């Protein structure tokens, strides 16, 4: 396995800049972003939409994403959901 000197310098430079707390916060945010497609597939059934045609499918998918965002907004307004990624523990 060959690792170039430039990639090694970039890795060591990024490790010096970011401390452990900052790296943990970035990891939490990334995890939250990656769960969004999973929620759309499992909860909102994006894989099995009962429509035909590209335009109808786009509209249907847009409504499902809108429903997900609306649910998040309502939880935030009611105070039941906070951004856990940036909360210091």
In tens, the pLDDT along 65-81 reads: 888 888 888 888 887 76
**Is residue 4 one of the residues assigned to a domain?**
no
| Euclidean distance between the first and the last CA atom of the chain, given in angstroms as a whole number | 39
57 contacts 77 by C-beta, under 8 angstroms: no
- The number of domains in the chain is 1
Expressed as residue numbers, the domain containing 30 is 19-78
**Is residue 11 one of the residues assigned to a domain?**
no
For residues 14 and 89, what is the distance between their CA atoms, to the nearest angstrom?
A: 24
46 contacts 64 by C-beta, under 8 angstroms: yes
**Is residue 26 one of the residues assigned to a domain?**
yes
**Is residue 69 one of the residues assigned to a domain?**
yes
Prediction pTM value: 0.52
**Is residue 12 one of the residues assigned to a domain?**
no
pLDDT exceeding 70 applies to what percent of the chain?
82
**Is residue 35 one of the residues assigned to a domain?**
yes
**Is residue 57 one of the residues assigned to a domain?**
yes
40 contacts 68 by C-beta, under 8 angstroms: yes
């Amino acid at each position: 396995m060959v690792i170039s000197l430039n990639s090694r310098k970039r890795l060591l430079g990024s490790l010096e800049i970011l401390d452990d707390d900052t790296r943990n916060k970035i990891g939490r945010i990334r995890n939250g972003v990656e769960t969004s497609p999973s929620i759309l597939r499992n909860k909102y059934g994006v894989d099995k939409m009962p429509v035909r045609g590209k335009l109808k499918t786009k509209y249907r998918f847009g409504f499902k994403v809108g429903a997900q965002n609306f649910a998040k907004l309502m939880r935030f307004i009611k105070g039941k959901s906070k951004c856990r990624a940036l909360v210091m523990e």
